[in-house]
Chains A and B, each alone.
Chain A
Amino acid sequence: MDESRPRGLSADALPAPAADGALIEPGHTFGSVTDKISSIVLQRRTPLGWVVGFGIGFALLQLLLYAVANLLFVGIGVWGPNQPVGWGFDIINFVWWIGIGHAGTLISAILLLLRQAWRTSINRFAEAMTLFAVSCAAFYPVFHTGRPWLAVYWLFPYPNTMGVWPNFRSPLIWDVFAVSTYATVSALFWFIGLIPDLATLRDRATSRPWKVVYGMLAMGWRGSAKHWHNYETAYLLLAGLATPLVISVHTVVSFDFATGVVPGWHATIFPPYFVAGAIYAGFAMVLTLAIPLRKFYGLDGFITLTHLENMAKVMLATGLVVGYGYMIEAFMAWYSANNYEQFMIWNRMTGPYWYMYWALILCNVVMINTLWLKSLRTNVAYLFFISLVVSVGMWLERYVIIVTSLHRDFLPSSWGMYAGTKFDYAAFVGTIGLFITLLFLFLRFLPAISIFEMRTILPGAEMKERLEDGHP
C-alpha cells in the first residue's frame, strides 16, 4: 500500500472480521444499516423505556441542582473535607469521572490507529460517554472552590485587574490545561465524526424542522470524494493527537498526587497506574452502557458478542496492570524502609478504613480475574455485573488513595477521620443524573452508532480485489 496516502477509515484499510466473531450480523446492506440506526433517532414515537430512563436521570439531576444551590448559599462547609483530609468526594469523584471518559478516546483514537475494526460500532457512544463524563468531572473542580465566579483567576490565565497570574509550577494548573484541552478535543473529535451522519439524518428526516436542524449541523456535507479525502486526513490526525493527549490527561491527574510529599501519593508508579485504571474504568462504563443499549434498541446485530468479549479482554488486561500497581505500592512501601510509607500501607490494610481497601482488592484484583474464563467473558449478564463491580472498585480505589493517605500523615497529633456528608452524596448521585440525562438526550437526537463507519465494514464495501479482477 502506498505509504504516503492517509488511511484509517477507508474500507480497504480495515481487516476482514475474524472468522469466529462477526462484527456485524450477516445480510446487512448500506441501506439497511442506514435505516436501522437512523430510525432510532427519526422515529416519531418516543419509546416508553426512553421516557422512564430519561425521567430517572432528570430526577437525579434535580438532586444535583439542589446540592449545588445548597453549596452556593451556605458554603463548602456543607461538604465533608476538613483538616486533615482536605480533599474528599470532590476529587475522588473528579478522578473517577475523568477516568471513565478515557475509554471513549481510547476506542475512537487508539483503536483507530491500531486498525481495530471492532471499534466501529461502539466508538460513537463511547465518545459521547467521554464528553458527558468530562462534564460531570468538571463540575467538581469548578464547585469545590465554593465561589467559582471568584476563582477564575486562579485557574485560567487572563489579564485581570489585580495583575495576578496562575502559578504554572503547580500540577493543579496543569490539570486545568489538560482537562480543558481534553474536553475540547473530545468534543471536536465527536462532532467531526458526526458530520456525515448528520447529513444522513438531514436527507432522511421527514419533518421540516428536523431537516433544518440536522441540515445546519451537517454544514452542507455532501459526501464528495474531495471532502472525504480531507476528512479522513483530519480524522486520522485528530486520532494521532488524541492518543498522546488521553495518556497525558490522566498522567497529569496523577501528578496532582505524585508531586506531593504525602506518603501514599508520592510514587513514580502513579502515571502509568492511573492511565491503566482510567482505561479499565472506562471500558467498564462502556460495557455498562452497551449491554442495555443493544438489548433495548435491538442492536445486537451491530454490537455483537465479539465486541463485548473484546472489551472484557481490554478490561482484564488493564485490570491486571492496576493490580500490579497495588502490588508495587505495597512493595515500595516495604522496600523504601521509610517508616511513614510502611505505616501508610499498613494503615490502609488494617486501619480504620480497612474495609474500603479490601473491598477494593475484591473488586479490582479478585473479581476481574474471573474474566480469564471465556464462558464468563461471553456471558452478557455476567459482563454487566462485572462492569458495575469495576466501577465500584475504581471509586473505592480513589477513596482509598485520597482518604487513607491524608487522614494519618506524619504527625499523630494531626490525625483525623473523614466521611462524606449527605451533600457530598447528593452531588455525586446528582452527577450520575447529569450523565444519564445527557446520555438519553444523545440517544434520542443523534445516531448512537456511526452510520458511515458501519458502511465501511460491510462486506460489499471492500473493492480492491474486485477491481483487480476486472469488472464484476
Chain B
Amino acid sequence: MKPPASIPEIYGLMAEFHQPADIVDAAERAHIEGYRRMDAYSPYPIEALTEALHLHHSRLPLLVLVGGVIGCLAGYGLQWWTSVIAYPLNIGGKPLNSWPAFIPPAFETTILFAALTAVLGMLALNGLPEPYHPVFNVPSFALASRDTFFLCIEATDPRFDAQSTRRFLESLPGVSGVSEVEH
C-alpha cells in the first residue's frame, strides 16, 4: 500500500549508537546541521541530550501548580460548604467555619490534585498511551530499552533528503548503523 503523495514515503532515518557520549554528540551535530524534526531515544534519561536537542522547558510545573491550587480550593471549599451550608453542626462550640481544623484535609487534597496532575500531565504532554509508533518498526529498536541509543531524523523535516541525510548520519562518529523507519 502506497501512502498518499503529501506524506513522505518513510517516517525517517534512524542511526544507532552504543555510547551515550556519541548520541549526545550526534544530536548536537544534527542540530548544527539544521535538522529540527528529530528525536533521540535512550535507555535512561540523559540531561545533556535534552540540551543537545534544544528542547523547550517542560510546561508540566505550571500545570502542577494549577492542579495544586485547584486541589486546595476544592478541599477547603468542600469542607466549608458541608460544615457551614449543607450540614451545620455545633461541635464543642467551635465556629462553623473552623478553618484551622480544615487545614489538614485541604493540604492533602492539594497534594492529591497536584500529584494527579503531574502524572496525567506527563502522560498527556508525551502523548501516552500510544499503542503504535513507527520507530518500533526498526528491529534493533527493541534495544533502546536495554543499552542502545538512537537518533531519528524525521522525513517531515524541511532539510530531510533520503540520500544526504543518510550520508550525514553515516558520517557521525560512533554510529553503528542507519536504517529506514517505515510508517
Q: Which residues from chain A sit less than 8 Å from chain B, CB to CB?
A: 4-7, 9-13, 29-31, 34-35, 157, 163-169, 171, 173-174, 177-178, 181, 184-185, 188-189, 191-192, 196, 199-200, 202-204, 219-234, 237-238, 241-242, 244-245, 248, 252, 255, 452-453, 455-456, 460-461, 463-464, 466-467, 471-472
Majority SS at the chain B contact face: helix
Task: Select which of A222, A455, A464 is within 8 A of B135 by beta carbon.
Answer: A222
Evaluate contact between A178 and B131: CB separation under 8 angstroms: no
A242 cross-chain contacts in B, Cβ below 8 A:
111, 115
Task: Select which of A11, A30, A232, A233 is within 8 A of B146 by beta carbon.
Answer: A30
User: Could you list some 9 contacts between A and B, CB below 8 A?
Assistant: A167-B83, A185-B115, A224-B39, A225-B42, A231-B45, A237-B64, A238-B119, A244-B111, A460-B20
Evaluate contact between A219 and B128: CB separation under 8 angstroms: yes
Q: A168-B82, A188-B116, A233-B122 are in contact. Are A225 and B129 (CB under 8 A)?
A: no
B48: nearest chain-A partner, CB-CB: A463
Is residue B8 within 8 Å, beta carbon to beta carbon, of the partner chain?
no
Evaluate contact between A471 and B101: CB separation under 8 angstroms: no
Evaluate contact between B50 and A229: CB separation under 8 angstroms: yes
A175: nearest chain-B partner, CB-CB: B104
A34: nearest chain-B partner, CB-CB: B146
Task: Select which of B41, B60, B119, B133 is within 8 A of A188 by beta carbon.
Answer: B119
Contact with A along B82-111 (1 / 0, CB 8 A): 110011010110100010011011011101
Task: Select which of B24, B39, B119, B143 is within 8 A of A192 by beta carbon.
Answer: B119
Task: Select which of B25, B94, B142 is within 8 A of A471 by beta carbon.
Answer: B25
- Cα(A29)–Cα(B145), bound, Å: 13
B122: nearest chain-A partner, CB-CB: A234
Task: Select which of B19, B55, B114, B142 is within 8 A of A229 by beta carbon.
Answer: B55
Is residue B121 within 8 Å, beta carbon to beta carbon, of the partner chain?
yes
Evaluate contact between B82 and A165: CB separation under 8 angstroms: yes
Task: Select which of A10, A164, A165 is within 8 A of B45 by beta carbon.
Answer: A10
Evaluate contact between A225 and B40: CB separation under 8 angstroms: yes
Evaluate contact between B126 and A231: CB separation under 8 angstroms: yes
Evaluate contact between B21 and A238: CB separation under 8 angstroms: no
Near A by CB (< 8 A), chain B positions 50-94 give: 50-51, 53, 55, 57-58, 60-61, 64, 68, 75, 78-79, 82-83, 86-87, 89, 91-92, 94
Is residue B177 within 8 Å, beta carbon to beta carbon, of the partner chain?
no
Q: A181-B108, A230-B122, A467-B48 are in contact. Are A223 and B79 (CB under 8 A)?
A: no
Task: Select which of A157, A244, A460 is within 8 A of B82 by beta carbon.
Answer: A157
Q: When A and B form their complex, which 7 residue pairs have the shortest distance between CB atoms, in order from nearest?
A: A30-B147, A219-B129, A234-B122, A10-B47, A220-B130, A165-B82, A228-B45
A169 cross-chain contacts in B, Cβ below 8 A:
83, 91-92, 94, 98, 101
Task: Select which of A178, A203, A226, A237 is within 8 A of B61 by beta carbon.
Answer: A237
Near A by CB (< 8 A), chain B positions 9-35 give: 19-22, 24-25, 27
